[in-house]
Amino acid sequence: MANPDPTIQAALREPANLGFIKSLVGLSELVVPGDDARNKQLREIQTLLTAGPLALTAETLLSPQNGVMATPFAGSTTGASQAGPLAFTSTVPVDELLDDHATEFEECRRWASSDAGQIARVQNPAGFANVRAHAAEHAAALARQQDFFKR
């Protein structure tokens, strides 16, 4: 019988707990929806923490090469950053077609609220900003997908 407590139900549905529950029950072959995407995102977060996001400025967006160029987040010495960046992009691009944007965005949110995320926010602000930019890219891709399917 299912537990009627909504808190317990939410904990059982939490992607971060599903792998643990799977191991407790002894169903190692059971495929948990979103578990691969969650683990992929956790690996990406470790990579994202090694650098700051890329700052996109008017100069880099309007480059004569007709492509988007980026300058580093911290310590950029280009004159274009005098007016400030227009946007930031993460150093690990999202895959518009193949990523599970909902799961990966939620994992970024969960991580940002965790102890590890809060420590990174204080001790590694550039890395935290890179994870935040990556989460924003997942959120934007998810919004585009949802908009596409509304048509």
Instruction: Kindly report the pTM of this predicted structure.
Output: 0.73
Question: Within this chain, do residues 148 and 95 fall inside the same structural domain, yes or no?
Answer: yes
Give yes or no: residues 4 and 49 share one domain. Answer: no
44 and 94 belong to one structural domain: yes
Give me the pLDDT at residue 79, please: 44
Instruction: Tell me the C-alpha distance between 89 and 22, whole Å.
Output: 35
Are the C-beta atoms of 62 and 137 separated by less than 8 Å? no
Which pLDDT score, from 0 to 100, does residue 75 have?
A: 46
CA distance 33 to 41: 14
Q: Which domain holds residue 22?
A: 1-29
Type of residue at 134: H
For residues 18 and 60, state if they share a domain.
Answer: no
Structurally, the chain folds into a number of domains equal to: 3
144 in the same domain as 123: yes
Specify whether the CB–CB gap between 124 and 50 falls below 8 A.
Answer: no
Same domain, 14 and 60: no
Examine the domain organization and report whether 139 and 122 are in the same domain: yes
Mean pLDDT to the nearest integer, 132-138: 97
- Residue 24 is predicted with a pLDDT of 74
